[in-house]
């Protein structure tokens, strides 16, 4: 279960003095995370948001590794589907290869999405046009974050998904 806390974009988030990954008090460092609002269109420079979150040194590396891995796995699934298409094209023809590659890619992406729902990251955030949604796997940390940020009441308050 993931706790969602929306904040208006104009609000600078205040985090509890705990690591957003493991929850240990007084973390020794921080991690700067970048995210993009996918609804901003195809312009690669639009919709970006950066936040600095408190984390232990190792947990900061884990956060970055998770976010990079998520991107690379998605790209890898698409590349694999293309490889299946070109491999099968000479053997069974263009239509059969296209359908097979599409089905393989769709199955891979659906499986990866289901895995992501079952194993959510300890912390993530989603920039939107008028708000930023902060996602916490630890409901206690999400509640502390919500209390520290009174602007969350304007953006819809604490929810769970």
pTM above 0.85, yes or no: no
**Contact assessment for residue 49 and residue 77, using Cβ atoms and an 8 Å cutoff:** no
Helix (H, G, I), strand (E, B) or coil at 25: strand
Helix (H, G, I), strand (E, B) or coil at 49: strand
Nearest 10 degrees: Cα torsion 154, 21, 65, 106: -60
pLDDT at 158 over 60: no
The answer to whether the CB of 131 falls within 8 A of the CB of 8 is yes
Query: CA–CA separation, 59 vs 123, rounded Å?
Result: 11
pLDDT of residue 103: 93
What confidence category does residue 130 fall into, taking pLDDT thresholds of 50, 70 and 90? Answer: confident
Mean pLDDT of the region 38-59: 78
């Amino acid at each position: 279960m993931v706790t969602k806390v929306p904040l208006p974009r104009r609000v600078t988030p205040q985090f509890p003095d705990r690591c957003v990954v493991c929850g240990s008090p007084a973390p020794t460092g921080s991690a700067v995370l970048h995210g993009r609002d996918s609804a901003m269109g195809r312009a690669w420079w639009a919709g970006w948001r950066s936040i600095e979150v408190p984390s232990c040194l190792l947990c900061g590396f884990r956060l970055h590794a998770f976010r990079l891995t998520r991107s690379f796995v998605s790209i890898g699934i698409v590349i694999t589907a293309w490889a299946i298409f070109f491999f099968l094209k000479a053997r069974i023809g263009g239509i059969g290869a296209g359908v097979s590659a599409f089905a393989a890619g769709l199955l891979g992406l659906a499986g990866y999405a289901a895995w992501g729902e079952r194993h959510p990251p300890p912390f993530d955030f989603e920039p939107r046009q008028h708000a930023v949604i902060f996602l916490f796997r630890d409901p206690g940390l999400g509640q502390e974050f919500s209390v520290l940020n009174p602007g969350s009441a304007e953006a819809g308050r604490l929810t769970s998904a």
